[in-house]
Amino acid sequence: MLYDHYEESEYDWIWGPYFKPEEIACKGTDELLVNPQGLNVLVRARILADKAFKINSAYRSRLHNAKVGGAPLSAHRSGIAFDISLTGHDRKQLLQQCKQAGFGSFGKYKTFLHVDTRPGRNWGKW
């Protein structure tokens, strides 16, 4: 479901208290794409980590994705990808928790971990 803005009164937001709509909405346009499968896996990872996540990037509109240099078919465009800040987290432990939660693809960066629900893609080194 794509929303132009994120007023919670318009729909049931079931992913609290772990994440607020504004954390998942496009940082460039404030559009919100609700992908229940992706959000459910993200919440499972957060529960396993037992520590708050700062989401650097979640859903990206087509325009914002292009502006930040994202791949045209980026998983962020469909709401199944999240970039989680490593601040306050052990990177290898966070990776294991995200795998256990059900994420299948991982991008390892200096300051964040990219996770998405597609199977088997891995890039970057720590």
Instruction: Enumerate the H helices of 5-90 as residue ranges.
Output: 21-24, 36-49, 62-67
**The pLDDT of residue 125:** 93
Statement: 2-123 belongs to CATH 3.30.1380.10: yes
Averaged pLDDT, 56-85: 97
Confidence (pLDDT) at 126:
86
pTM for the model stands at: 0.91
Which sequence spans correspond to the domains of the chain?
2-123
Q: Nearest 5 degrees, angle CA 75-CA 63-CA 87?
A: 55
pLDDT at 12: 78
